[in-house]
Structure 1
């Protein structure tokens, strides 16, 4: 019964509220909450899926310099990483070539050692057969049995000579066998190094291919006018960096002339302008950065390390203010890029994939240091 009374009371309250909310009530009366809109007969609107743009590319309607700057930075970073991998590839390739030559040389040494041992064994066999033909008696025993004093004296000399020859023969045979064992061990170790270098070379090749493909894909995602503006941004950034470098007074004391070898290297490098950059290439139709500098100095009569990192590690370093034409400028903290200084604040370089060997400002990139191949 109590429950029935509660329900009835609730119904009464609801009805009272409905009456109070009716139109025409006096001021101060409670207004009923608005009714929900009538259901529409048209299907509900569906929001379009969000547009997913490549990294660094602004969505349609928001394109601008800032987004292209991001793209430029990402592309530069990808090509920098490709350049570093290229250096690793070139070093591995150089080691593969050298280690292959070492393995071939050791194989030749092993063959020569085997032939030498075979010849020594034949000599030892001949000596044994000679003793057999003498009745199996050693020379000393046969000498004791002779009754001719002169033959005895002559025999003593021959026995001494024979003993020395036998000792020398056995010693040479032992050394030949030891050398053969050493050659075999060295060949095995060298082969393992060769396989390791080949693996590193293939790993670097994959890394290069991946980075360059990513950079090209990012460039291809831009419209034609964006690509043109991107190229202009690259030129503007290089010009700004070069201007800042020149304004710093970096060229104030740089007035030295090239050495005779340096002039030849510069002439060679300048003659390559317009040829395309190809990673791992060292001419004559295309170059990467260190392929250009190493070949230029080979043309000048001096062989230098193949990679920019090894050029930085092995060649004598000079201060920037002591730089002269023919010197090599190493760029970035990982020494992943190199160019040749040609004077007046300019360099010849093979920049990156998609670009040609060109004349550029020496200060357009972050300089790590300078090395001199003919110091």
Structure 2
């Protein structure tokens, strides 16, 4: 009896600790009764859901910042390589020009150091004078051209040096931004996973059901607004290819920073789908929102991209009938979802 009583006491104590941690982590969650191991109410689970979603949203925003910094770093690395090749070519050109200048100087020295004009005036034969006058004129032009080429090549080398220095600075800045964003992603994901780990299996299942229920309500409200009543556009040829690619990825895991072929994040999926359709688009959801042509929701057609949340931190591809295909968040897979189940910022069209 003593051993069983001790075991029961340990269970009660452990449960109280877990409940206490959750109530401290989640704003607005009341402290649980240490002696009451009952599952949390739906209201308390909804509070947990809000906090979990907030953390995943922050992680997704940091993921897009990471993707943008990584993309910029790649671009700058390619630019530095291009500049290095241009420097090599310019240096070779400079070496050839200096060799030509040296040859001219040696020729003048062999001529007794007299300028070509003076040597011309000393000609006694008039025919030689007129014949060599043309040669001197050509020599002057060649010398001027050589000097101009030397100056232009030196300016190129100076410009390349300055440009390379600027690109190195930008590259270093983006490396720091990428590292900071990566740290934020990992921190937010760790917080969300820690919070979820404090829930029982039945609470996790109920939490997911509440999330699905909230999504269904949001979708019903969106459709009920009549926003799609006049929408009947058909996908373009490229749009159909992009949809086919994206829907083939259904069931694959979300992974932040990934762009296939085994895992994806939200903008990795949309950018790769449109690349497969023959049109390259920006890598991140923020840049897709900023750079791609916008269309009204009423004019939306399959293949268009729907950008979500005020910070444009999420994106899905519209496939028709009020549905998107998207990569939701860590721990989930590429799936179909209601286009109105999240806060819509706007719609962009890659092939407008």
TM-score (norm 2): 0.90
- Which runs of 5 or more residues in structure 1 are unaligned? 1-47
* Separation in structure 2 between the aligned mates of residue 141 and residue 345 of structure 1, nearest angstrom: 89
Counterpart pick for 2:135 among 137, 158, 163: 158
* Separation in structure 1 between the aligned mates of residue 177 and residue 93 of structure 2, nearest angstrom: 38
Q: Residue 341 of structure 1: SS of its match in structure 2?
A: strand
1:111 aligns with 2:79: no
What is the CA-CA distance between 1:137 and the residue it aligns to? 1.5
CA-based RMSD: 1.5
Q: How does 1:35-46 map to 2 (within 5 A)?
A: none
* Separation in structure 2 between the aligned mates of residue 303 and residue 274 of structure 1, nearest angstrom: 24
Partner of 2:208: 231
Q: How does 1:121-200 map to 2 (within 5 A)?
A: 121-200=98-177
Partner of 1:311: 288
Partner of 1:279: 256
Segment of structure 1 superposing worse, 142-151 or 235-244: 142-151
Partner of 2:9: none
Q: Residue 307 of structure 2: SS of its match in structure 1?
A: strand
Q: Deviations over 1:59-118 (max 9, x none)?
A: 252621111111100000000001111111111111111111111111111122222111
What is the CA-CA distance between 1:333 and the residue it aligns to? 0.6
* Separation in structure 2 between the aligned mates of residue 304 and residue 172 of structure 1, nearest angstrom: 40
* Separation in structure 2 between the aligned mates of residue 53 and residue 173 of structure 1, nearest angstrom: 73
What is the CA-CA distance between 1:358 and the residue it aligns to? 0.2
Partner of 1:67: 44
1:120 aligns with 2:120: no
Q: How does 1:81-100 map to 2 (within 5 A)?
A: 81-100=58-77
Q: Residue 21 of structure 2: SS of its match in structure 1?
A: coil
What is the CA-CA distance between 1:250 and the residue it aligns to? 2.1
Q: How does 1:273-352 map to 2 (within 5 A)?
A: 273-352=250-329
Partner of 1:31: none
Aligned residues: 328
Q: Deviations over 1:304-352 (max 9, x none)?
A: 1111011111111111111110011111111100000001111000000
What is the CA-CA distance between 1:228 and the residue it aligns to? 1.0
Q: Residue 146 of structure 1: SS of its match in structure 2?
A: coil
Partner of 1:219: 196
* Separation in structure 2 between the aligned mates of residue 259 and residue 174 of structure 1, nearest angstrom: 53
Higher radius of gyration, 1 or 2: 1
Partner of 1:242: 219
Q: Deviations over 1:216-236 (max 9, x none)?
A: 111011111111111111111
Segment of structure 1 superposing worse, 146-155 or 287-296: 146-155
What is the CA-CA distance between 1:251 and the residue it aligns to? 2.2
* Separation in structure 1 between the aligned mates of residue 121 and residue 217 of structure 2, nearest angstrom: 102
What is the CA-CA distance between 1:172 and the residue it aligns to? 0.7
TM-score (norm 1): 0.85
What is the CA-CA distance between 1:253 and the residue it aligns to? 1.3
Q: Residue 250 of structure 2: SS of its match in structure 1?
A: coil
Counterpart pick for 2:186 among 209, 230, 245: 209
More helix by share: 2
Counterpart pick for 1:53 among 6, 15, 21: 21
Segment of structure 1 superposing worse, 140-149 or 351-360: 140-149
Q: Residue 222 of structure 1: SS of its match in structure 2?
A: coil
Partner of 1:14: none
Counterpart pick for 1:261 among 235, 238, 244: 238
What is the CA-CA distance between 1:211 and the residue it aligns to? 0.4
Partner of 1:27: none
* Separation in structure 1 between the aligned mates of residue 294 and residue 114 of structure 2, nearest angstrom: 74
What is the CA-CA distance between 1:53 and the residue it aligns to? 2.1
Partner of 1:76: 53
Q: Residue 53 of structure 1: SS of its match in structure 2?
A: helix
Q: Residue 260 of structure 2: SS of its match in structure 1?
A: coil
